[in-house]
Copies of this chain bind each other. A is one copy, B any other.
Amino acid sequence: MTERGTLGVAVIGTGKMGADHVRRVHEVTSGARVSAVVDLDADRAKQVAARVDGCTAHTDMASAMAASDVDAVLIASSGPAHESALLLALEHDLPVLCEKPLTPDAASALRVLQAEQALGHRRVQVGFMRRFDAEYVKLKSCLDTGQLGRPLMLHNRHRNAASPPFFTSSMLISDSVAHETDVTRWLLGQEITAVTVLRPTPSANAPDGLQDPQFVVLETEGGALSDVEIFVNCGFGYQVQAEVVCERGTARIGDGHAMVTSMAGRWGGTIAQDFVERFADAYDREVQAWVDATRRGEVTGPSVWDGYAAAAVCEAGVRSLNDGGRVPVELVERPALYG
C-alpha cells in the first residue's frame, strides 16, 4: 500500500458504473485512491484517468493488476467480462469488489467459486449494494433482534419508471429480481429452493413483446415464501419496497418513510434518541463539504456573520425569557464581506 496505508484501487471498466466508482473512490471514500483504470477503449480510459492525480490508464487488465501501486481491484465492466477479470485477480491474490452479477450464469459463477476455493481464502466481495442501504440494514437488524419472531413471508416490490431499449423478459429476472434473490437469502439467512414466475397481462406501456410486470414466488429451504413484483415500466418512478412477515409482527421499508413495524397492537417507527444518531450524516457531510471547499481554496457554509446573528438573537431571547415580553434584536450593519 501507499503511504499511511491508503489503498490503491484499479477500476476495471470505465462505463457509467465504472466512471461513477472512480469518482466515488476519488472524492467520497476515505483511505483509498484510484491508482489505475482499465478499459478496452483506450481513449475513454485515458479521459477517466486524467481526472485523478497519479492514476494510470490501461487497456490490459494484467498490466494494471501487476502495477506496484495497485492493492485491490474494483470490477465494473459488463457482466460477461467479469469471469476473466475475477480469475485474473484471484491469480494475483488481489482483493476484489465485483459489481453484480458475479457472472451471468451459474456455471461460470461456479468456476470463480472453485478458483477462490483453490486459493484457500476469500478475496471477493460481490456488489449487492442493498445490504449497505440504511433501510435494508435496519430491516435486517430488526429481524436479527428476534423481537418479531421467525420470518414466514417476504413481500417485495421492485419498480422502475421505464426499461432501457435492450431489456428482455429474461432480464427482468436475471438483472432486476437478482437483487431480490440476494435480499431474500440475506434477510432470511436461507437458500432458495424453487422459483415460480407468473405472467400477468403486460402493461400497455411496456415495449411490445416484453413480459412486464412479472410476479415471482421464491421458496426457501426453511419453508418461507418470498414474492416479488417486478415491474420495469411502471411509469411513475423507481420504488423498492420490502415487508417481512414474522410470527409476531411485520416490518416494512421503502414507503417514503423510515422502517415501519406492526407489532403488539401498534404500527410505527422508532425515534432517534440523540442528536448524534439523528444528525450523524449531517456532521459527515458538513466536514466533507468543508474539506472539499478548503482544498479548492474556497470558504462556503455558515459564516461568522451567521454565528454573530445567532448570538445576537439568542441574547435577545434570554432577555425575553428572563424579563418577559418581546425583545428587539440589534445587529451591526452587515459587512460587505458577508454580502
Encode contact with B along A229-260: 1 for CB under 8 Å, 0 otherwise.
Answer: 10100111111100001011110000111101
Q: How far is the CA of A267 from the CA of B306 in the complex (A)?
A: 33
Taking A248-B236, A337-B117 as contacts, is the C-beta distance between A321 and B169 under 8 angstroms? yes
Q: How far is the CA of A216 from the CA of B326 in the complex (A)?
A: 10
Closest to A103 in B: B311
Q: Which residues of B contact A248 (CB under 8 A)?
A: 205, 235-236
A95 to chain B: which residues have CB within 8 Å? 290, 294, 299
**Do residues A30 and B288 form an inter-chain contact, with CB atoms below 8 A?**
yes
A209 CB–B CB distance under 8 Å = no
Q: Does A150 make an interface contact (CB < 8 A)?
A: yes
B-side contacts of A201, CB under 8 Å: 152, 222-224
The distance in angstroms between the C-alpha atoms of A279 and B231, with both chains bound, is 18
Q: Does A143 have its Cβ within 8 Å of any Cβ on chain B?
A: no
Binary contact readout A29-46 vs B (1 if CB under 8 angstroms, 0 otherwise): 111110000000000000
Whether B204 pairs with A328 at a CB distance below 8 angstroms is: no
Give the nearest-CB partner of A212 in chain B: B152
CA–CA, A32 and B173, complex, Å: 42
A76 and B255 CA atoms in complex are apart in Å by 38
A193 interface hit (Cβ, 8 Å): yes
Q: Contact: B24 with A247, CB < 8 Å?
A: no
Q: Which residues does chain B contribute within 8 Å of A130, judged by CB atoms?
A: 279, 282
Q: A305 to nearest B CB, angstroms?
A: 7
**Interface flag for A314 (CB, 8 Å):** yes
Residues of chain B lying within 8 A (CB to CB) of residue A285: 132-134
Which of A110, A169, A306 has the most chain B CB atoms inside 10 A of its CB? A306
Flag A103-145 by CB within 8 Å of B: 1 or 0 each. Answer: 1111011101100110011111111111111101000000000
Chain A 291-312 residues near chain B, CB threshold 8 A: 291-295, 299-312
Question: Among the listed B29, B128, B198, B260, which residue makes an inter-chain contact with A217, where contact means beta carbons less than 8 Å apart?
Answer: B198
Minimum CB distance partner of A330 in chain B: B106
Residues of B within 8 A of A216 (CB): 317, 320
Q: Which of A25, A106, A124, A293 has the most CB of B within 10 A?
A: A106
Interface string of A89-112 (1 = CB under 8 A from B): 000000101101111111011101
In the complex, chain B residues whose CB is within 8 Å of the CB of A302: 125-128, 131, 182, 186
Given A267-B269, A328-B194, check contact A29 B29 (CB 8 Å): no
Q: Which residues of B contact A204 (CB under 8 A)?
A: 149-150, 247
Q: Is the C-beta of A146 less than 8 angstroms from some C-beta in chain B? A: no
For the complex of A and B, the 8 pairs showing the least CB-CB separation, nearest first, are A268-B268, A102-B307, A201-B223, A237-B271, A133-B282, A125-B301, A109-B308, A173-B317
Q: Name 7 A/B residue pairs within 8 A (Cβ), A-sorted.
A: A104-B311, A120-B337, A125-B303, A131-B286, A153-B213, A197-B321, A266-B270
